[in-house]
Amino acid sequence: MELLKRTAKEQHEALINKEVSAVELVNASIERIEKLDGTLGAFNSLTFESAIETAKKVDEKIAKNEAIPPLAGIPTALKDNMNAVGTKTTCSSKILENFVSPYDATITTKLKENLVPIMGKANLDEFAMGSSNENSAFKIVRNPYNLNKVPGGSSGGSAASVSASEVTLSLGSDTGGSIRLPASFCGITGFKPTYGRVSRYGLIAFASSLDQIGPFGRSIEDVTNLYEAIAGYDTKDSTSLNLEVGNISKNLKRDIKDLRVGVIKELMSEGVSDDVKLATENAIKTYEKLGAKIKEISLPLLKHSIGVYYIVATAEASSNLARFDGVKYGYRAQNCENLLDMYCKTRAEGFGPEVKRRIMLGTYALSSGYYDAYYKKAQQLRRLIANDFEKAFREVDILVSPTCPTTAFDLNSKADNPLEMYLTDIATISSNLVGSPALSMPVGFDKENMPIGLQIIAKKLDELTLLQAAYALEQELGVYNLRPDI
């Protein structure tokens, strides 16, 4: 297979076997981005020069026969809500259009330590609010499998750039499914670790009790390696977990005969398209064939997760986004009469419609007259949903479901209907409310050749079982080896 379409692991082998140099690999990525990205729209900005500098360092090490980290020299993209010093971090918003990061996010520091060339910043829904990437203030992203369809959101650029082999790996952030949904729509693997596993220092906050950074890649091995490179305790993030990450990549292969697999009943019924259902059932049968024990699990409160999420997430967003006021960062409106006028005009001109809608919803939910009726109730339900999950994980090791009830939808088909858009998150949101690790991996295609993703969820901190279970299925199905014809 063409070099850029290979997995990071295969590219690493090509580098250490001196089949190709890191500079050549990065140049191939540059060429492909230059050729494709005008159509695809996956990147907001590019950092080719520093990527080449990093690649040169990798080549020097290889020339001296020094060992290189597994991801050294592998072309990678960052979602454009993560800071990398001296580069723009726009969140795909006019309000941050010219904001230059004054420091590196912890994930950026770690990628740099691992000599990972960062090719640029990937497009997203404005402030990571959306499921289709149509909420970017700058441009849409197209799905590499069908240019008339959405790539999923909010990490649409991160997913499309890997799917289209512009880069081999990328990072996204997941507040309610923004890694898993686009991974599913673009036919790649996306992994949201346990809340607190990866430092959020330098990630521009959306909803702080839900946000988590995670990897996109073409295989479970690749996302595991990227996860290990970025995970771990960070004193700069007060929600970061001071716990060992463990060595998962060395322990991916496991006999799954004793694995207990729960199928989420509520996510296999109404609204799931026939093709998605079929592919999910096929994945479940494959687990059965491998000797796992299958059990149906009911999560009766799951139906409330969207309601709970859109109260909690908007409440936190309204508070987090208060900092964009024309004084501290980014855009400031001109010709203002006084301070209040400046705040109002800056925010009216700087934020797009979805962001404004959420700030208003969140401010309303937190206002003194309604706090008990909405925010407090949502937090109580959030606890009850977590109890349901804890109970389920006493009976099974992993839970599976479709990542989304449908495959990627047409561009513009839901853009005017926010409620319908919110429903695409039905399967993914609960793991953010609960904090558990979850991933989406490709398991098949529908009749229109659009990819179908399977979601696997494990209990908090059990990334090991999650990734082992996903690896066993991936190796058996082989779908991860397929690439779009672009």
Which amino acids are annotated catalytic?
A: 79, 154, 178
* DSSP annotation of 60: H
CA distance 479 to 187: 9
Q: Which stretch binds ligand GLN (CB under 6 A): 125-133, 241-249, 258-266, 468-476?
A: 125-133
| CA dihedral of 358, 359, 361, 364, whole degrees rounded to 10 | 170
CB of 159 to ligand GLN, least distance (A): 12
Can you tell me whether residue 182 is helix, strand or coil?
helix
Helices 377-395 and 305-320: crossing angle in degrees, nearest 10, is 130
Q: Under the criterion CB under 6 A, does residue 177 sit at the interface with ligand GLN?
A: yes
- CA 243 to chain CA centroid, Å, is 22
CA distance 410 to 66: 48
CB of 267 to ligand GLN, least distance (A): 16
Q: Which stretch binds ligand GLN (CB under 6 A): 54-62, 175-183, 270-278, 376-384?
A: 175-183
Q: Under the criterion CB under 6 A, does residue 434 sit at the interface with ligand GLN?
A: no
**Peptide bond before 155: cis, by omega within 30 degrees of 0?**
no
CB of 157 to ligand GLN, least distance (A): 13
Query: Which residue among 129, 150, 164, 169 contacts ligand GLN (CB under 6 A)?
Result: 129
CB of 155 to ligand GLN, least distance (A): 7
Q: Under the criterion CB under 6 A, does residue 126 sit at the interface with ligand GLN?
A: no
Q: Under the criterion CB under 6 A, does residue 158 sit at the interface with ligand GLN?
A: no
Task: Name which of 291, 260, 283 is nearest 473 in CA terms.
Answer: 283
CB 337 within 8 A of CB 321: no
Q: Taking CB under 6 A as the rule, which mask of x and - marks residues 359-398 in contact with ligand GLN?
A: ----------------------------------------
Nearer to ligand GLN (CB atom), residue 206 or residue 409: 206
CB 351 within 8 A of CB 284: no
Nearer to ligand GLN (CB atom), residue 131 or residue 465: 131
Q: Under the criterion CB under 6 A, does residue 262 sit at the interface with ligand GLN?
A: no
Q: Under the criterion CB under 6 A, does residue 80 sit at the interface with ligand GLN?
A: no
CA distance 319 to 205: 10
Nearer to ligand GLN (CB atom), residue 211 or residue 397: 211
Residue nearest to ligand GLN (CB): 178
Q: Taking CB under 6 A as the rule, which mask of x and - marks residues 189-208 in contact with ligand GLN?
A: -----------------x--
What would the two tokens of residue 162 be? 């890997």
- CA 399 to chain CA centroid, Å, is 19
CB of 419 to ligand GLN, least distance (A): 12
Q: Taking CB under 6 A as the rule, which mask of x and - marks residues 85-124 in contact with ligand GLN?
A: ----------------------------------------
Q: Under the criterion CB under 6 A, does residue 156 sit at the interface with ligand GLN?
A: no
Query: Which residue among 106, 109, 154, 189 contacts ligand GLN (CB under 6 A)?
Result: 154
Nearer to ligand GLN (CB atom), residue 311 or residue 399: 311
CA distance 383 to 103: 36
Query: Which residue among 170, 175, 189, 305 contacts ligand GLN (CB under 6 A)?
Result: 175
- Tokens 């082992």, located at residue: 468
Query: Which residue among 425, 462, 463, 474 contacts ligand GLN (CB under 6 A)?
Result: 425
Q: Under the criterion CB under 6 A, does residue 305 sit at the interface with ligand GLN?
A: no
Q: Under the criterion CB under 6 A, does residue 176 sit at the interface with ligand GLN?
A: yes
Size of the site for ligand GLN (CB under 6 A): 13
What would the two tokens of residue 422 be? 């919110």
What CA–CA distances, in Å, run from 388 to 88, 263, 341, 363, 377?
Answer: 42, 14, 48, 29, 17
Task: Name which of 129, 112, 119, 102 is nearest 207 in CA terms.
Answer: 129
CA distance 307 to 379: 11
Pairing of strands 293-297, 260-264: parallel
Nearer to ligand GLN (CB atom), residue 21 or residue 132: 132
Q: Using alpha carbons only, how large is the chain's radius of gyration in Å?
A: 21
Can you tell me whether residue 43 is helix, strand or coil?
strand
Q: Enumerate the β-bridge partners of residue 406.
A: none
Q: Enumerate the β-bridge partners of residue 190.
A: 216, 440
Q: Under the criterion CB under 6 A, does residue 130 sit at the interface with ligand GLN?
A: yes
Pairing of strands 398-402, 438-445: unpaired
Q: Which stretch binds ligand GLN (CB under 6 A): 129-137, 325-333, 382-390, 443-451?
A: 129-137
Chain length of the chain:
486
Query: Which residue among 178, 280, 305, 430 contacts ligand GLN (CB under 6 A)?
Result: 178
Query: Which residue among 59, 80, 166, 174 contacts ligand GLN (CB under 6 A)?
Result: 174
Residues found near ligand GLN in the complex (CB under 6 A): 128-131, 154, 174-178, 206, 313, 425
